Chain A
Amino acid sequence: MNIVVCLKQVPKKDSILRIAADGKWIDDRDLSYEMSEADAYALEEALRQKEKHGGEVIVICMGPERVRQSIKEALAKGADRAIHLYDEAFDHASDAAGIGRALAAALKDEKFDLVFTGLQSDDYGFAQVGLVIAERLGLSSATIAMEVQPEEGGVRVKRELESGWFQWVKIPLPALLTIQSGINQLRYATLKGIMAAKKKELREVKAADLGLTADDLKPAQVIERAYLPLKSKQTEMIEGKPAEAAAKLVEKLRFDARVL
């Protein structure tokens, strides 16, 4: 069972985000980064499947030099090798179609049974790239997977539906699954793993290697303005030391909001 995991690196969850001077993106100076949460679960699921069924886990990641940190983390946790889409041309791929096209092109000649992605990234949150890869490579697919059971000729997947409902579906291989956060418990890399990762293959791929130009990756969707959400409500912020703030809040809830 060979499994490809698509990883994305995003600003850390607790980052304080500010708008960039041009008003079109966040100010990315002084940010720390990490693996997008759902992708970390996708990686963990792939490692667990490999431990049960054998095979190889290949991680693929697109982005600037900094994403190597996440690639190395994946290798240290147990992935066997990595592909890094590393080229200025990939900076143009900023919508799901462009990113999916580049990743699909890079995977076209790989031998795999399954491709895992997180269900959506913590930055753009398109929830599309995985399925674009599936469509371009003709893979069967299932999204928002909560359990993965390889079976003869296919894979049985427990999909999450809305409002506490679930459904098992069976699809043939090769298949792409988008993995829900929380499907498993994440592992930490061990020192041994970190040492072993240094010897693992990390292949760099340029756009030209895939026969792609910056023009091919030009987005159809362009962010023309990024801004902090307008408040939908007037929020009354309650200041003071914990005991004071608590007393004020209880008073407000009793006498102004009348909900206590």
Chain B
Amino acid sequence: MSEGILLFIEQRDGVLNRTSLEAMVAAQRMAAETGDKVSAVVLGRDVSAVATEVAGKKLEAVYTVTDDKLASYTPDGYVAALKQAIEQLSPRYVILSHTYRVRDFAPILASTMGKTFVTDCLCFRVEGGETVFTRQIFQGKINTDVRVQAEAPVFASFQAGSYRADLAEAGEQPAPIKPLEVEMEGVRLRTEPEAAFQETKQAVDLTQAPLIVAVGRGIKSQENLSIVQELAEAMGAEIAASRPICDNEWLPMDRQIGSSGQTVAPKLYLAVGISGAIQHVVGMKNSQTIVAINKDPEAPIFDLADYGIVGDLFEIVPALTAEVRKAKGE
């Protein structure tokens, strides 16, 4: 009989991935509605520090799976270890954060176990014993409620930022830390990982900028960037960009905002010609004031904007620059 919710805790070099705590909030809320208990599982060579940190939260238990073959992340190692952990614990749900690492192994894990995996969820609701997950399609333009008809365990990953990590409930007493025995002897790790690295030393720290003007695909060409640069200059703002701009090398990569770039929360975030694909939104949605300028009135960026202007950025941006200069008495 399957019961309980198993939460995957991600760590790298003994450092807890904060988004695991966001997923923990999802798991704890799910438990509150279904009456299940949440346990966590953490993998690695030595995970005692992370396990102890997580054990302070409201959890039934923190299971640890340790082996030399789990020292560096590989999909084969993680799939083999987690499969055995899940088989031993037989939870109803396996909850994960939708990180790049989870994306790299969890679909293999679910497939090899013949289970369904609902990815990149925003939230859920429980209805007559069944869980309905909300996930976005068409890059955030449309939400869907997804009903799962499958045998336990159901795998579900939650998008970064879908729950607030600081809302993870603390336990009254530390949860017991229980090592799980798994057989890793015969597991072949096909992946040979090298050390992780950063491409360039980040020259610009956008996280400290109070004002950011960000530019996206709508700018169309590199030559057109100057109008946005002029606006940023007039405002005294840093310039930033969505991914396609940096992929085209129109701006250096250290200007990129989003899941693969920097995460910022300035006083003002002015998004020019950015549609608001979710990969971008996760990097800026906590900005204090968001302004969006876009020709498409249906662009998802308007859903999080405080102020919006629908129109041609090539007319609006220069007009805005002129107004900012006027306001500053230049």
Interface set of A (CB-CB < 8 Å, partner B): 11, 14, 16-17, 19, 26, 95-97, 100, 119, 122-128, 130-132, 134-136, 140-144, 159-172, 181-182, 220-238, 242-243, 245-247, 249-250, 252-254, 257, 259-260
Contacts and interface: CB of A to CB of B under 8 A. Distances in A.
Contact of B323 (A100, A163, A250, A259): A250
Nearest to B321: A246
Contact of B143 (A128, A135, A227): A227
Contacts of B211: 259-260
A-B interface, 6 closest residue pairs, ranked by CB to CB distance from nearest: A182-B247, A246-B319, A131-B107, A220-B150, A220-B116, A128-B107
Contacts of B326: 250
Given A232-B304, A246-B320, A249-B309, A260 B327 contact: yes
B190 A172 contact: yes
7 contacts: A140-B190, A159-B104, A221-B118, A229-B136, A234-B306, A236-B308, A260-B211
Interface residues of B, number: 88
Given A123-B137, A135-B111, 13 more contacts: A14-B296, A17-B142, A123-B138, A221-B150, A222-B149, A231-B304, A233-B304, A242-B319, A246-B316, A250-B326, A253-B268, A257-B289, A260-B211
Report which residue of A168, A182, A242, A243 has the largest number of chain B beta carbons within 10 angstroms of its beta carbon.
A242
Contacts, number: 247
A125 B303 contact: no
Interface of B: 75, 99-101, 103-104, 107-108, 110-112, 116-120, 132, 136-150, 190-199, 202, 211, 235, 243-244, 246-248, 253-254, 256, 259-263, 267-268, 288-292, 296, 298, 300, 302-312, 315-316, 319-320, 322-324, 326-327
Contacts of B136: 125, 229
A235 B196 contact: no
B315 A162 contact: no
A216 to B, nearest CB: 13
A224 B132 CA distance: 9
Contacts of A246: 316, 319-320, 322-323
